[in-house]
Amino acid sequence: MMLVLPSTEYLIYSIAYGSSLALLCMGLTLTYMVTKVPNFAHATLAITGSAVTLLLIDRIYHVFYLEGGASSLGKTPYYTLYLIAPISAFLIVGLVALIQYLLVLRPLSSRGVGVIGLMIATLAFDIILVNILTLTLYLMPTAYFGKLIGPSLKGFDVSVSALGISTSFSRLALPVIAVTLAIALHLFLTRTKFGVSLRAAIENPDLARVLGINVDLAYMTSWFIAGGLAGASGALYIFMVENFKPAVASLVIVSVFAGSILGGLGSIYGALLGGFLVGVTETFVVVLIQNILAAYGLPITLTHYQRLFSLLIVIVMLLLAPQGLTGLISRVGRGGR
Amino acid sequence: MSQPILVAEALSSGYGKFQVLFDVSFRVYENEILAVVGPNGSGKSTLLKTVFGLTTIYSGSVIYRGRDITRLPPYVKARIGVAYLPQTDNVFAELTVKENLLMAAYTLEESEARDRIEEVLNLYPVLKERLSYKARSLSGGERQMLALAMTLVRRPDIIMLDEPTANLAPVVARHLLKKISMLRDEMKKTIVLVEQNARAALELGDRALLMVSGRVSYEGPSESLLQDVELGKRYLGLR
């Protein structure tokens, strides 16, 4: 009986995946706090970020490498992509999320459509978006897409080796960018007048209106930020996957809901923690349990069922602590009352 | 008597298709406290909400300083000097006291906002000690004090208060009513006060408006209503 621990490289991947989910959960929770509707299209927004990155890199590859620009730039564009890709994806996907709010949720909401109706509307938007992305990627008439079988950016990732550990640059960049964005969002919401007004509008829109705060602008900004976070997450995540397919969003959304529910759905900080924990559970913890079972003579491939663990987390949390980690932490803070 | 600062003419309003007010007319004069009293469900709170533009208005008008403000959105009314303090949810519970005051001064220039916040903090020194506390951690009285301070930051001419003493301990309620009378006497504000405690409201008010089933049953001096045994007994539980 010999227990094999998951490798350090896998732990790094796990942290990167957890960071990616954390960004997604923060965005989902933000839109939930604003519209009180779970956005089923949220994972597809991340996939849109992946698609934006794919198209962006394709253009750069096309222009600089196939049309002779590479001689002057060398390999430099690869590194700069880690900055350009998430920023571009943040802006473009932020706009897509804003369009979803302005064209779908706001008009329906103002007509008095209930939560169920709005949820179905987000599902419909999700289906439309997935199909648009699939079609766009299929029709992409470029050299890069034609050269590889199934779009993937793994080949563009850069290897990094230090302290005897070898990993890819994207896996290191994701946690750094996730933490940076989380801190930036925190500072925006607590240190700027507009950020505070956004929190005020989310908490009590009627009072906010009475005080002269433009609630509609605050809601639009929230949706833009939520979409932006999803886009940035997807922009970096695509460097780690093979055979990218937009339909994968229907699986990712399960993990995003799990992380958001674990966080408590009422706090973006809770969502950050919840998303990260779900991400690490789905990857590192699952492999760890799998290895432990193997050590006891039960060789079951649990990695095929990683999202089952997310759903288990949801069930356990809803049964034991429906307020999520945020509620649990504040209960502990109040001495169990 | 001075000129009316606010005139409501034949107001009919409600929530969607559910009508609550029927042809309600009244006047509010400069630097007075108009006490709005009446039994539960008589439309007192709806009256304030209607003036502020938070209900569906079917007909009638609201004139403020000679200007028709009936259909103006609430935030515009707030900017031109009309303030409304709801009975509940009148502060942002998850924001700190300082952030709440900043939001009250949202439409003001930064330096002006700073001065006015300093001004109201001097009026309510208890809030000065709680600036970094979240509003949800304040006591009921402190919360109402914060709500009042938030209203005053915008230096309104007329303040409409919806049951400010609801759910407060009697001693805290008395203290708050004293603060409200100070707004009239020292700061020369005009107040429309909806209050469940009819006796306290009538004692404080200069004039009174008695609402019954969405209609005005009496408008006149508070003192007269307080001494009207018949009306007091039937609608206000006064003996």
pLDDT exceeds cutoff 90 at A192:
yes
State whether B74 and B116 are in the same domain.
no
Q: Do B92 and A206 touch (CB under 8 A)?
A: no
Q: Do A197 and B106 touch (CB under 8 A)?
A: yes
- Chain A neighbors of B52, CB-CB under 8 A: 210
Residue ranges of the alpha helices (H) in chain B? 44-52, 74-79, 97-104, 110-123, 125-128, 140-153, 170-185, 198-204, 222-227, 229-235
Interface test with B, best of A210, A213, A334 (most B CBs within 10 A): A210
- The residues, ordered by sequence, that sit 6+ positions from A190 with a Cβ below 8 Å of its Cβ are A196
State whether B237 and B199 are in the same domain.
yes
State whether B10 and B62 are in the same domain.
yes
State whether B70 and B45 are in the same domain.
yes
pLDDT exceeds cutoff 90 at B79:
no
pLDDT in tens, A254-296: 999 999 999 988 888 999 999 999 999 999 998 999 888 988 8
State whether B77 and B95 are in the same domain.
no
Question: Do B44 and B51 contact (CB within 8 A), yes or no?
Answer: no
Which of A262, A267, A266 has the alpha carbon at shortest distance from A312? A262
- For A215, the closest chain B residue by CA position comes to B75
State whether B214 and B101 are in the same domain.
no
pLDDT in tens, B90-101: 999 999 999 999
Predicted confidence at residue A328, as pLDDT, reads 82
- Interface check for B54 against chain A (CB to CB < 8 A): the answer is yes
- Domain containing residue B217: CATH number: 3.40.50.300
State whether B148 and B160 are in the same domain.
no
* Residue at a domain's end among B112, B132, B155: B155
For residue B106, give the nearest of A203, A204, A212 by CB distance.
A212
State whether B110 and B150 are in the same domain.
yes
State whether B185 and B222 are in the same domain.
yes
State whether B140 and B196 are in the same domain.
no
- For A211, the closest chain B residue by CA position comes to B104
**Total structural domains within chain B:** 2
Those of residues 68-87 in B touching chain A at CB distance below 8 A are 73-75, 78-79, 84, 86
pLDDT exceeds cutoff 50 at A73:
no
- For B79, the closest chain A residue by CA position comes to A212
State whether B166 and B74 are in the same domain.
yes
Residue B185's domain comprises 1-81+156-239
For residue A203, give the nearest of B75, B92, B107 by CB distance.
B92
Q: What is the pTM of this model?
A: 0.82
**ipTM here:** 0.78
For residue B104, give the nearest of A193, A209, A211 by CB distance.
A211
Q: Do B92 and A197 touch (CB under 8 A)?
A: no
